[in-house]
Structure 1
Amino acid sequence: MTNHSPTARRIAKTILNGFDAYFADFQNITLGAKARFETAAWAAVRETNKERIDLYKVKVNQVLKLVHSVTSKDTTQLELWGQAKATYAQLIANNNNYEIAETFFNSVFCSQFQHAHIHDSHIFVKSSRALDDKPLRDYSIYISYSGRDGLEAMIEDILADYSFSIPWEDMARDVANICTSLREGPLAGKLTEEDDEQRLRVDMLESVFYRNKAAYLVGRLMFAGEVIPLILPCLNNGRGNIFVDTLIHDNDSASIIFSFTRSYFMVDAPIPSRFVRFLSTIMPLKEKSELYNSIGFHKHGKTEFYRHILAHMKVSNDKFVIAPGIKGMVMSVFTLPSYPVVFKVIKDKFDNPKTVTEEIVREKYKFVSRADRVGRMADTQEYTNFIFYRNRFSDELLQELQTLAPSKLLVDEKWVIIKHLYVERRMEPLNLYLDQADEQQTIEAMEEYGNAIKQLAAADIFPGDMLLKNFGVTRHGRVVFYDYDELCPLTECNFRKIPEPRTAEQELADRPWYTVAEADVFPEEFRLFFSGNPVARNAFEAQHSDLYDYRYWQRLQERIRAGRVESTFPYRRKVRFHRIPIKRGHTQRPPGSTNGGTPADGR
């Protein structure tokens, strides 16, 4: 550090101290998830989720003020920040969470310079070093279990090792359900010899993943060279007991549980990179950025995404183009065909009849980032001054952006800099999906569409504009809402029945003859969302006609106002276990047998 000024060293130390304080507070909020689950404090779950998300910006702002206080020099000098970055890299050289610490430094810098001067000489555009893939010999994140005493004994040991403060409702029943599911699922036809079970190994992460009203035990089953997800969602029965609700044992289902449409988990992850590495073994198709997001480190998820797309740009040559589908009234949306995301830019002027403002739109997206997305809204990352190569933009796209959002652009011969944009996962718009769908696919899509509306409503979210084009279909066939400019809390809506006309003139009028306030919603009008697609409409009405009834919505509002938090599951209800009590001793192991878990080395 001898070549770095004392001021630069003070700035670097101040930022690192701030990062340590942020990480400690983040962990403390997270550690409370266990008690909230055990006491069924569901309202507190939602509030602490918001608190933890907001914590990052609060800490960054605090640290920037401290940076200004530790020096009398001009903190707008880029050379000073270059020295501070170099010092900081040395300070975190042996830090287990150096990659997240780098992101924190970047955030303080960007707060100082309003996201200008983004360059690797000032911040960590590239990481200071490659991620260390070696195991931590003095730190293990999972426990390994052997099947040497049989499958039942191994599963019983796993459940017994999770030290919840309230008892299992019926552990013997849960063990039997899990074993049956394994034998009929991933192990079907593979346990051909009596001693095959003895060759089973399960690695279970010691930390429990908490989200909404569930606790997830996450691990992997190792057998015959295969790595099989083993995820056990556990629920609180409301009477002071816990039970295992189902077993998730395939990659796609595991991916849905960790989906970008879900709220972030609360999981005690002292070294997040180790958890990301473990999770990658059971979800190999999921990017690191998504996994960091899923465990609550969404700011570093942004960093990982940015680095990943920069790397992709070097190995691809296709151009950014206007995203397919009906163009929005508020956003200009574009995509890179070879990369599975869309970029959304707020237009300078909205199309009629939109009356919202840009400030309102930004608030809607902030609302979504902090809300319980219940698997039905896409997580969206917000970027400022996102830099692209101009030669990667199609002429049509660049012309559209210069026409519709010129205030958001800085363009020269080499670069296109977009001052503000949102990035989210690319999905096929539901209206386009239905154009190509057969009858059965249409029925299933309409079931999903109705379920999405109902589940969002149960979470106190009303989409507002429920046109099919505002919903997308994921690769797993789930329908997800992604157009947020008109959403609002459900409890702020006034659901009404359309009054009966009293005269012939009223009945034939082309405009409502009754008064309509800003918050009024008439569910009978939802049929209009299917104009031009009678097949989809019939499929929807066969499954979700209750959504046309204003009383359905009013009853839901009453439950929300009464403090009821509905249950939503990231898996099909049909896979939930039956909770029929079984005889005690069913999973009893032979006398004298043991199967204690052993710490693994973190590989």
Structure 2
Amino acid sequence: MTNHSPTARRIAKTILNGFEAYFADFQNMTLGAKARFETHAWSAVQESNKERIDLYKTKVNQVLNLVHSVTSKDTTQLELWGQAKETYGQLIANNNNYEIAETFFNSVFCSQFHHAHIHDSHLFVKSSRAPDEKPLRDYSIYISYSGREGLEAMIEDILADYQFSIDWEDTRRDIGNICAALRAGPLSVFESEDDEQMLRVDMLESVFYRNKAAYLVGRMMFRGEVIPLILPCLNNERGGIFVDTVIYDNDSASIIFSFTRSYFMVDAPIPSRFVRFLSTIMPLKEKSELYNSIGFHKHGKTEFYRHILAHMKVSNDKFIIAPGIKGMVMSVFTLPSYPVVFKVIKDKFDNPKTVTEAIVKEKYKFVSRADRVGRMADTQEYTNFIFYRNRFSEELLEELKKVAPSKLEIDEKWVIIRHLYVERRMEPLNLYLDTADEAQTIAAMEEYGNAIKQLAAANIFPGDMLLKNFGVTRHGRVVFYDYDELCPLTECNFRKLPEPQTAEQELADRPWYTVAEADVFPEEFRLFFSGNPTARKAFESEHSDLYDYRYWQKLQHNIRNGRVDSTFPYRRKCRFKRRRPKTNRPPAAIGQ
């Protein structure tokens, strides 16, 4: 073992103690999710999500202050931090959560040096050990169930093992619904009930809580296949819990764990084991997204950074300006072979934008803590992100030099962007509609309206609802991703357009009536479809109520009175009918 200075060892121990305190507080906040769900304390659910997100920065700042207090040495010495990193690596060598602990060290270092000096000799750019180097042979996070006694008996055992403090509303009905859906879906390949005896199900012991739902998450194993098995459960708020549907395909599972939704509250004492399990039912999801989904978004940033560095080594395409209409506030670029966009705040905004850079940053912070209801893309914020210069197209470099020179540091080898956001790449809705057929246009416009309504019900008004500010995911969902104009819905003043009283007023080329900053006239939303009458017709056939100021005022009334609406990460048509099935094997296919 290398001998390091006593100061370096004290710094390492202080940071590790701080990490363990953070992790304990994180877990305790998470453990409260069960009681919040059972008592339908929905406002407390939203507040606890924000508090848990803010916990990380609070703990990092506390630990940095402690680091300064445990030594009289100059804590800006990089050599000292290099020794502290090596000592820290030794201290966490047998830690089950070494990878999360490494990220915490990195955060303290970056807080000390304001995100400068990012190098593996000072912090954990690379992990201290390879994944699965020391597997936990005696630790299991799931319970296995056998189909030997039949499918109904197995589902009954699963529901019985999840002990909520309030009763199930009707387990017989739920078991019948689940079995019917599975037999009409993935188990339809079985020729008889005898085949069901070969089925094995692994269910994670911990329940995944988010918003107004609790998710039982597992996988079905048969004939060499791994199939998701997710049971969303709801509280009827009258003393009973019921299973709302069953999810059994990879795409639907991926949507539940989407980057457009809030982080789960799940008791994950060893997060890496949960991520490994979830990867078996969502093989296309990156580890960074899965860490984000269970609340470890800071380590998700670390995993993303490591993943893109690895991708750069095996690719040779160049970063380019992202397709679509250029934004007035952000310059957006992408790497064609990698499914994200990088967003840089411009130094000067195009007219008529009046927001400031500080306001834009606050908007993005607001989104990171908001209930995204499946309709806003999660973003990761980075400082001093380092790129190879030879991977940038000349057009992109010229664009960044022109619109955001204060954010750039460029030399012959590197391009360092001082501040940027990373977001999942989607096809802008306006570009999607350019090539969409009639059926795709109708579906996209229904989704666009649903996105606006669901955001509004969550007290979010997009502000600028132009089609270019929404994207289409690979699952066909429409998602909002331009945040500089959004605000809480309750801060808006929705008004009816005044009727002109004179010919001069009717022909005026600008409003003849007074318009305050917070005023919104829903009748003007028709302007968002200028040039695309097909899209407008499709939108109005489903969502013309959005043109009525009274629709918005009613939503504001509900929100101010504490109403929290339910939003489902699956189609409403997939939801079970809450009545007892007549037989154990109803013929209807649920969710198809």
Q: Is TM-score (shorter-chain normalized) higher than 0.5? A: yes
Cross-structure match for 1:80:
80
Equivalences for 1:260-299 in 2 at 5 Å? 260-299=259-298
SS of match in other structure, 1:312: helix
Cross-structure match for 2:457:
458
Which AA in structure 2 matches 1:110? C
| Distance across 2 between alignment mates of 1:513 and 1:132 | 69
Cross-structure match for 2:58:
58
Q: Does 1:342 align with 2:362?
A: no
Give 1:192 shift.
1.3
Equivalences for 1:110-121 in 2 at 5 Å? 110-121=110-121
Q: 1:435 to 1:122 in 2, by over 3 A?
A: same
Equivalent pairs, count: 585
| Distance across 2 between alignment mates of 1:9 and 1:441 | 61
Give 1:515 shift.
0.4
Equivalences for 1:354-503 in 2 at 5 Å? 354-503=353-502
Cross-structure match for 2:104:
104
Which one has more relative contact order, counting CA pairs under 8 Å at least 6 apart?
Answer: 1
SS of match in other structure, 1:187: helix
Is the contact made by 1:246 and 1:576 (CA closer than 8 Å) also made in structure 2? yes
| Distance across 1 between alignment mates of 2:584 and 2:379 | 48
Q: TM-score, normalised by structure 1?
A: 0.96
Give 1:132 shift.
1.2
Cross-structure match for 2:153:
153
SS of match in other structure, 2:186: coil
Q: 1:221 to 1:544 in 2, by over 3 A?
A: same
Which AA in structure 2 matches 1:564? R
Is the contact made by 2:64 and 2:108 (CA closer than 8 Å) also made in structure 1? yes
Give 1:330 shift.
0.1
| Distance across 1 between alignment mates of 2:160 and 2:584 | 15
| Distance across 1 between alignment mates of 2:584 and 2:195 | 21
Cross-structure match for 2:578:
579
| Distance across 1 between alignment mates of 2:427 and 2:554 | 33
Cross-structure match for 2:29:
29
The CA deviation string for residues 168-191 of structure 1, in whole angstroms up to 9 with x for no partner, is 000000000000000000011x22
SS of match in other structure, 1:153: helix
Give 1:3 shift.
1.6
Give 1:582 shift.
4.8
Equivalences for 1:209-228 in 2 at 5 Å? 209-228=208-227
| Distance across 2 between alignment mates of 1:374 and 1:235 | 16
Structure 2 unaligned segments of length 5 or more: list them: 586-592
Q: Does 1:165 align with 2:165?
A: yes
The CA deviation string for residues 529-581 of structure 1, in whole angstroms up to 9 with x for no partner, is 00110100000001100000000000000000000000000000000001013
Structure 1 unaligned segments of length 5 or more: list them: 588-603
| Distance across 2 between alignment mates of 1:229 and 1:98 | 28
Is the contact made by 1:169 and 1:242 (CA closer than 8 Å) also made in structure 2? yes
Q: 1:133 to 1:280 in 2, by over 3 A?
A: farther
The CA deviation string for residues 236-273 of structure 1, in whole angstroms up to 9 with x for no partner, is 00101000000000000000000000000000000000
| Distance across 1 between alignment mates of 2:539 and 2:104 | 47
Equivalences for 1:246-265 in 2 at 5 Å? 246-265=245-264
The CA deviation string for residues 309-364 of structure 1, in whole angstroms up to 9 with x for no partner, is 00000000000000000000000000000000000000000000000000000000
Which AA in structure 2 matches 1:475? R
Give 1:197 shift.
1.1
The CA deviation string for residues 420-446 of structure 1, in whole angstroms up to 9 with x for no partner, is 000000000000000000000000000
| Distance across 2 between alignment mates of 1:307 and 1:334 | 19
Which AA in structure 2 matches 1:48? S
| Distance across 2 between alignment mates of 1:554 and 1:330 | 30
Is the contact made by 1:172 and 1:586 (CA closer than 8 Å) also made in structure 2? no
Q: TM-score, normalised by structure 2?
A: 0.98
Is the contact made by 2:322 and 2:332 (CA closer than 8 Å) also made in structure 1? yes
Equivalences for 1:502-521 in 2 at 5 Å? 502-521=501-520
Is the contact made by 2:169 and 2:241 (CA closer than 8 Å) also made in structure 1? yes
SS of match in other structure, 1:199: coil
Q: 1:536 to 1:463 in 2, by over 3 A?
A: same
Give 1:126 shift.
0.2
| Distance across 2 between alignment mates of 1:135 and 1:143 | 18
Q: Determine what percentage of the aligned residue pairs are the same residue.
A: 88
Is the contact made by 1:344 and 1:421 (CA closer than 8 Å) also made in structure 2? yes
| Distance across 2 between alignment mates of 1:349 and 1:182 | 56
Is the contact made by 1:8 and 1:87 (CA closer than 8 Å) also made in structure 2? yes
Q: Point out 4+ residue stretches in structure 1 off by more than 3 angstroms.
A: none
Cross-structure match for 2:47:
47
Which AA in structure 2 matches 1:14? T
Cross-structure match for 1:594:
none
| Distance across 2 between alignment mates of 1:16 and 1:214 | 34
Is the contact made by 2:180 and 2:584 (CA closer than 8 Å) also made in structure 1? no
